[in-house]
A and B are shown apart, each in its own frame.
Chain A
Amino acid sequence: DAKTTQPPSMDCAEGRAANLPCNHSTISGNEYVYWYRQIHSQGPQYIIHGLKNNETNEMASLIITEDRKSSTLILPHATLRDTAVYYCIVRVGNFGNEKLTFGTGTRLTIIP
């Protein structure tokens, strides 16, 4: 699975959009981009995933560049409960087992 690079930490004002970048320059054509988050002392929580197209669900939007070498997770209206460590993960889809490799992630702090 391709390696990902994320900034170690970010701050965002409450109510504003939080944009979390991720670089995955060695991504292969059949690898998906996944985002999970871990709120303090809890288990990781799935947020969203995508292959080529931009994706949106009730939690967030995922913007993937045309060359697929980077992506951005967008939390449109950040709340204090969005404070967490966010993990960007790249892996082959339809693999038969979910061997997710978590990196160090981005610690996002939402400021009141």
Chain B
Amino acid sequence: DTAVSQTPKYLVTQMGNDKSIKCEQNLGHDTMYWYKQDSKKFLKIMFSYNNKELIINETVPNRFSPKSPDKAHLNLHINSLELGDSAVYFCASSLDRDRVTGELFFGEGSRLTVL
């Protein structure tokens, strides 16, 4: 069973379009995250949600809107896509009781290419 699953794995789209990436975790974790890995391989946090509540928002443009319908899901919607949005987006989750552990479980990533 996949612990953190993301769909789609690959996404190719035109500038200006709106797209969504979905993430689901079956680990029973309380906190979910979105990370972005750019072409230079830097991995940076974008958002985190704890029990559907936004905890971290790292100065991400308003075109990016995370939505957490329940604590097992955290979807990422991107409006008016730009070339610079091309990247690999990773979803992750962690368990509140293990906060001090710092162990994040990452999905396999969603590679977004904007043409």
Chain A residues close to B by CB (< 8 Å)? 32, 34, 36, 38, 41-46, 49, 85, 87, 91, 93-102, 104
Contact = CB atoms under 8 A, between A and B. Distances in A.
Contacts of A104: 41-42
Given A93-B99, A97-B31, A44 B94 contact: no
A99 B47 CA distance: 9
A42 B55 contact: no
Interface in B90-105: 90, 92, 94, 99-105
B45 interface: yes
Contacts of B56: 97, 99
Nearest to B108: A43
Contacts of B105: 46
Main SS of the interface on chain B? Answer: strand
Interface of B: 4, 31, 33, 41-45, 48, 50, 55-56, 90, 92, 94, 99-109
Contact of B102 (A41, A43, A100): A100
Contacts of A96: 55, 99
Central interface residue in A38, A45, A85, A100, by most chain B CB within 10 Å: A100
A44 B43 contact: yes
A99 B45 contact: yes
A44 B90 contact: yes
11 contacts: A41-B109, A46-B102, A91-B102, A93-B100, A95-B99, A97-B48, A98-B31, A98-B33, A98-B48, A99-B45, A101-B44
A98 B101 CA distance: 9
Central interface residue in A34, A41, A45, A46, by most chain B CB within 10 Å: A46
A96 B48 CA distance: 11
B103 A100 contact: no
A91 B92 CA distance: 17
| 7 nearest CB pairs, A to B | A43-B106, A102-B43, A94-B100, A93-B100, A46-B103, A97-B55, A98-B94
Contacts of A45: 106
A44 B91 CA distance: 10
B89 to A, nearest CB: 10
